[in-house]
């Protein structure tokens, strides 16, 4: 299992979080921590999540799968999850 931090911007609409979380579950991704906050814009939320991937699975694939979701406005894998902890 390898740890990766993802930083995402979601549409602030009902069901957006559910779709992201179900994708994690469908693709066998462990969620270690997750935080969701509305931004000042109001129509989008910022989501930070640290996930565990089975060995050999790259975060690139997950980023692409998340990018397919209509309510995901942007998603990037943050380089070093140890340094970039949630809430740090």
Partner 1 sequence: MDTVTGASSLVRALEDAGCEVIFGIPGGAILPAYDPLLDSMKIRHVLVRHEQGAGHAASGYAQATGRVGVCVATSGPGATNLVTPLADAYMDSVPIVAITGQVSRSVIGTDAFQEADIRSISLPITKHAFQVTDPADIPAVIAEAFALAAGGRPGPVLVDIPKDVLAATTTYTPAPPVRNPRVTPAANEIRRAANLIASSRRPVFYIGGGVVRAGAAAELRTLAERTGIPVVTTLMARGAFPDSHRQHLGMPGMHGTVPAVAALQQADLLIALGTRFDDRVTGVLELFAPNAAVIHADIDPAEISKNRKADVPIVGDCKDVLVSLNAAVRRAPVLTSWWAYLDGLRDRFPLGYDWPADGKLAPQYVIERIGTLVGPEAIYTAGVGQHQMWAAQYVGYERPGSFINSGGLGTMGFAVPAAMGAQCGVPDRAVWAIDGDGCFQMTNQELVTCALENIPIKVAIINNGNLGMVRQWQNLFYRGRYSNTGLSTHQRVPDFVALAEALGCVGLRCAEKSEVDDVIMRAMEVRDRPVVVDFVVGEDAQVWPMVAAGTGNDEIMTVRGIKPLFDEDL
Tell me the residue ranges of DSSP E strands in 12-58.
30-38, 44-53
Task: Show contacts with partner 1 in window 21-80 (CB under 8 A).
Answer: 22-23, 25-26, 60-61, 64-65, 67-71
Residue with tokens 């992201």: 20
Instruction: State the nearest-atom distance from the C-beta of 82 to partner 1, in Å.
Output: 26
Q: In the chain, what's the furthest Cα-to-Cα distance?
A: 38
Q: d(Cα 60, Cα 58) in Å, to the nearest integer?
A: 5
Query: Does residue 15 belong to the site contacting partner 1 (CB under 8 A)?
Result: yes
Residue ranges in contact with partner 1 by CB under 8 A: 14-15, 18-19, 22-23, 25-26, 60-61, 64-65, 67-71
């Amino acid at each position: 299992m390898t740890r990766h931090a993802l930083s995402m911007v979601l549409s602030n609409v009902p069901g957006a979080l559910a779709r992201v979380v179900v994708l994690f579950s469908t693709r066998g991704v462990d969620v270690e921590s997750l935080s969701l906050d509305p931004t000042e814009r109001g129509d989008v939320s910022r989501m930070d999540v640290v996930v565990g991937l089975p060995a050999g699975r790259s975060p690139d694939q997950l980023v692409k799968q998340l990018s397919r979701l209509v309510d995901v406005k942007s998603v990037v894998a943050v380089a070093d999850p140890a340094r970039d902890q949630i809430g740090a």
